[in-house]
């Protein structure tokens, strides 16, 4: 067996720092407060592992679970959770043990062409959830959805 070139086995990428995560949480809280709708906010990395979570006073505690599914879905498909194709929309939640969801409120965190993870927001209407997620993306200079 010949020893391969390390170049073939690795590639460069980017990740979010905790300064970025805290900035996103603060911006999400500010926007949710403005809208008068307390929210659950979950931020995950590019592999879906949790980076930060916050349940605002008055938010629905079970929405922390759906916010997590939204964040993980967006990070996995590198697109809004609501973009799940029609063909798999019925079957995919069970086939992924509830990890994947087509509920609106999950957005990918994209900067300079890299997907660094996902944010999921839940407790409000779909529109409110997406609005809060976008406020968090804007705060760190990530692409809006």
CB of 86 to a copy of itself, least distance (A): 12
Instruction: Between 35 and 126, name the residue whose CB sits nearer to a copy of itself.
Output: 126
The distance of closest approach from Cβ of residue 105 to a copy of itself in the complex, given in angstroms and rounded to an integer, is 10
Q: What is the DSSP letter of 114?
A: E
Cβ atoms of 66 and 120 closer than 8 Å: yes
Min separation Cβ 34 and a copy of itself, Å: 11
Secondary structure element (H or E) that encloses residue 71, with its range: helix 63-77
55: left (phi over 0), alpha (psi -120 to 50) or beta: beta
Residue 124, number of CB atoms within 10 A of its CB? 22
Dihedral angle, C-alpha 26, 74, 69, 72, nearest 10 °:
-90
| CB nearer to a copy of itself: pick between 35 and 77 | 77
In the complex, least distance from residue 129 CB atom to a copy of itself, rounded to whole angstroms = 10
């Amino acid at each position: 067996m010949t020893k391969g070139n390390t170049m073939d086995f690795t590639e460069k990428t980017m990740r979010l720092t905790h300064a970025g995560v805290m900035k996103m949480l603060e911006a999400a809280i500010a926007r949710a407060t403005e809208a008068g709708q307390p929210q659950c906010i979950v931020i995950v990395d590019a592999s879906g592992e949790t980076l930060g979570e916050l349940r605002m006073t008055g938010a629905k505690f079970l929405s922390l679970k759906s916010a997590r599914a939204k964040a993980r879905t967006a990070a996995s498909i590198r697109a809004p959770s609501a973009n799940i194709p029609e063909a798999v929309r019925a079957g995919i939640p069970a086939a992924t043990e509830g990890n994947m969801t087509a509920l609106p409120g999950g957005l990918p965190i994209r900067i300079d062409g890299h997907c660094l993870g996902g944010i999921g927001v839940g407790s409000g209407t779909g529109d409110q959830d997406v609005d809060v997620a976008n406020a968090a993306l804007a705060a760190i200079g990530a692409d809006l959805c």
